Amino acid sequence: MQSTLDFSHYLKNAGPGLLHLELAVEGINCAGCMAKIERNLSKIPDVTSARVNLTDRRLALEWKEGAIDPATFVDRLAELGYKAYPFERADAETKEAERAGALLRRLGVAAFAAMNVMMLSIPVWSGNVSDMLPEQRDFFHWLSALIVLPAAAYSAQPFFSSAFAALRARGVNMDVPISIGIALALGMSLVETASHADHAYFDAAIMLIAFLLAGRYLDQNMRRRTRAFAGNLAALKAETATKFFGDDEVRTVPVAAIRPGDIVLLRPGERSAVDGNVVSGRSEIDQSLITGETKPETAVAGSAVYAGTLVRSGTLRVRVAAAAEETLLAEISRLLENALQSRSHYLRLAERAARLYAPVVHATAFLTMLGWLIAGATIHDSIVTAIAVLIITCPCALGLAIPAVQTVASGALFGSGVLLNSGDAIERLALVDRVIFDKTGTLTLPELDVANAAAIPAAVFALAGRVALSSRHPVAAAVARAAKATSPLEGIEEEPGQGVHGMLDGREIRLGRPVYCGADDEANAILSRDPEASVVAFRHGADCHVFAVRQRLRPDAASVVEKLRQYGIAVEVVSGDREPAVRMAAQSLGIREWRAEVTPVDKIARINELAAQGFKVLMVGDGLNDAPALAAAYASMSPVSATHLSQSVADAVFLGERLAPVGLAIAISRKALLLMRQNLWLAVVYNALAVPIAIAGVVTPLIAAAAMSGSSLLVMLNALRARFHQKETF
């Protein structure tokens, strides 16, 4: 029934005669799974290495070339109870991982340098109050310079290059005062050392770099983890296509290996993974993931199909088109680009803090120098005091204040089934005061479900489910899923476009269109009550039942909407689907504001209208038609079943059947934003206490070092509070 997957796209050479394959494995969540998988796969002859990565939920395999079919591994894992999918690292993920690695290397260098310099600084500090010889102090200072200068030149590069880029763009970011502070501290220490002075700030400078790099690394590592998880999800969704090699031969290949011009086969029940035009065949297609419209259309030769289109009845051959040529997609990409541009105007909390911070600090340092000059100090002493002000105000805590909270909060979000695409999403989610839901696939579940299950005897339901397993039609698949059927009945045959039939206990058994099963009256009765439902009939001898299959609301949708209201957040539905369907969903959830048959352009218009009234809108949607609106909204979320494009545009992706993660995301983000603000205030208070000491000119390197690590610790500990989030009952 299904052609096996062609693995060649995923195989990599891992040395002479060795092949390497990475699999994303669903269901690894404990150490037991890890040991079980590794033990069982290592037993396969010729496998040289099987190693599970528990953090990323992946399995790396190496084996001797030629001996084993990679499908063996997937089958073996299936026997063990794990679903595995071949996996290719996305470019974005590789880049994030490289950046995280580079930051960790720099952090290591800076931290080791800081430790060793401390070993030299402590004798100097204690020597200053006892009887250290000036020659000995100079010797220790020179040694410190020897360690710190090369270490700083290497590890502080990210700050220097970022500050340089900001200055070249005539802007200021947090890295500008950081870089100036570091450069001045090192320069002054060098001059002071050469002139045999008491104080040098090598230790403070390298410690500052180490703390700031720790903040950067936390931020980067969070991004890397999200990317890794998103990569797994992409693999788990098993985006493959059945491609024609010649006229009759088909093979299942990963979508990444499909090129424009290829011909692919779409069978009933499959979702298209590509955009293209139908070459031959005829079928009803469901475009609800793209347009939000749930009513099926008919595709014939020449019709366009898009990635996400569900083929319902017939088989289609589709010629793959380059995405940009398609009118719908081109339109959506254009809208998307505009929307993304407008979002980049959003200023992150850290950037706003930096804009206020840099001028204030530099002005304070300058005024300190002027003040001391007027008071009659020497030029040298005035400059040294001014630089001490810069060092003491260097935003050590400020650099950690936000990334630390973001990391802890994103861990909490992860635990409640929300994956963040961008770190600053937390800030924006926290400020949301209006939520717009798409209907299809967002308020409702992406899969169809049986609506009248209670009216059908359990035994009949179970039997119908087993029969339905033999059909590929999505409506039949919904019956099978609802009945939790696992073992198909033997001898069932499919009659294309009608249904399936067979024999059981000497009586004929049928499942399919009402006409096919002679159940028109029952079907019409259901349709007159519920015009949005699809019907499928089941007959076993004289026993006849009709299943109403429709999209079901997410189980907790009503309570989440209610909860959001209690939070003071207004809720509305904006959908591309027809009016009766949208009205019904909105009414059953108690949502008064709803709009139906809305085009992507009008969705953006609605969001902009609300934005103009001062609302901060969270858009929650899954379809391709929602993507521009997701990008235009102040913040956005997508269910994990959404199209690729929507997921990549959304700020966050939520997992599972429930809608609760949307509410939890807002709750956790609000708490996190509160902590970020607290942390910034802590940093301000610290500065308010430390700066007068620096201005007074009595700061020693010891005070600088203590103040710096003290404030950083305080901010980190406060950030950890984002973890102790009281369980919200969404």
Partner 1 sequence: MEVLVFLVPLAIMLGAIGLMGFLWSLKNGQYDDLDGAAWRAIADDEPAESSNG
Residues known to be catalytic: 438
Asked if 693 is part of the footprint of partner 1 (rule: CB under 8 A), the reply reads no
**Which of 104, 257, 544, 553 touches partner 1 by CB under 8 A?**
104
DSSP code at position 537: E
**Which of 67, 92, 115, 363 touches partner 1 by CB under 8 A?**
115
**Which of 109, 404, 561, 640 touches partner 1 by CB under 8 A?**
109
CB 419 within 8 A of CB 516: no
**437 DSSP β-pair partners:** 573, 620
Sort 399 into a burial class: Cβ within 10 Å, 0-12 / 13-18 / 19+: buried
Looking at the Cβ atoms of 415 and 457, the one nearer to partner 1 is 415
**Which of 13, 126, 136, 157 touches partner 1 by CB under 8 A?**
136
**Residue 254 zone, left/alpha/beta (φ > 0; ψ -120 to 50; rest):** beta
Q: For the chain, give the number of residues.
A: 730
Q: Which stretch binds partner 1 (CB under 8 A): 48-56, 473-481, 622-630, 711-719?
A: 48-56
**Which of 4, 9, 35, 531 touches partner 1 by CB under 8 A?**
35
Q: Which two tokens stand for residue 274?
A: 């590509």
SS3 521: helix
**436 DSSP β-pair partners:** 572, 619
Q: Which stretch binds partner 1 (CB under 8 A): 50-58, 82-90, 239-247, 652-660?
A: 50-58
Closest CB 206 distance from partner 1, rounded Å: 12
**Which of 59, 147, 318, 680 touches partner 1 by CB under 8 A?**
147
Strands 297-299 and 283-286: antiparallel
Distance CA 620, CA 635 (A): 9
Closest CB 35 distance from partner 1, rounded Å: 5
**Which of 27, 44, 108, 553 touches partner 1 by CB under 8 A?**
108
Q: What's the longest Cα–Cα distance across the chain? A: 112
Closest CB 96 distance from partner 1, rounded Å: 14
Asked if 55 is part of the footprint of partner 1 (rule: CB under 8 A), the reply reads yes
**Which of 11, 143, 250, 304 touches partner 1 by CB under 8 A?**
143
Looking at the Cβ atoms of 120 and 212, the one nearer to partner 1 is 120
**Which of 11, 18, 34, 611 touches partner 1 by CB under 8 A?**
34
Q: Which stretch binds partner 1 (CB under 8 A): 52-60, 309-317, 411-419, 587-595?
A: 52-60
Q: Which stretch binds partner 1 (CB under 8 A): 116-124, 157-165, 328-336, 663-671?
A: 116-124
Residues 6+ apart with CB under 8 A from 40: 76, 80
What are the E-state strand segments in 321-425?
Answer: 418-420
Residues 6+ apart with CB under 8 A from 463: 489, 504, 509, 538, 540
Q: Which of 438, 436, 409 is nearest to 422 (CA)?
A: 409
DSSP code at position 720: G
Looking at the Cβ atoms of 139 and 346, the one nearer to partner 1 is 139
Closest CB 227 distance from partner 1, rounded Å: 14
Phi then psi dihedrals of residue 541, to 5 deg: 65, -120
Closest CB 119 distance from partner 1, rounded Å: 6
Closest CB 21 distance from partner 1, rounded Å: 17
CB 618 within 8 A of CB 666: yes
Q: Which stretch binds partner 1 (CB under 8 A): 30-38, 337-345, 398-406, 618-626?
A: 30-38
Asked if 52 is part of the footprint of partner 1 (rule: CB under 8 A), the reply reads yes
CB 417 within 8 A of CB 654: yes
Q: Which stretch binds partner 1 (CB under 8 A): 115-123, 260-268, 501-509, 598-606?
A: 115-123
Distance CA 361, CA 357 (A): 6
Asked if 23 is part of the footprint of partner 1 (rule: CB under 8 A), the reply reads no
Place of tokens 């500090």: 125
Q: Could you count the other beta carbons within 10 Å of the beta carbon of residue 59? A: 24
Closest CB 111 distance from partner 1, rounded Å: 8
Q: Which of 527, 524, 573 is nearest to 550 (CA)?
A: 527
Asked if 54 is part of the footprint of partner 1 (rule: CB under 8 A), the reply reads yes
What are the E-state strand segments in 593-680?
Answer: 593-595, 617-620, 635-639, 652-654
Closest CB 496 distance from partner 1, rounded Å: 42
Q: Which two tokens stand for residue 257?
A: 């290996």
Closest CB 693 distance from partner 1, rounded Å: 31
**Which of 9, 12, 13, 139 touches partner 1 by CB under 8 A?**
139
- The site for partner 1 (CB under 8 A) is made up of 30-32, 34-36, 39-40, 52-56, 80, 101, 104-105, 108-109, 112, 115-116, 119-120, 136, 139, 143, 147
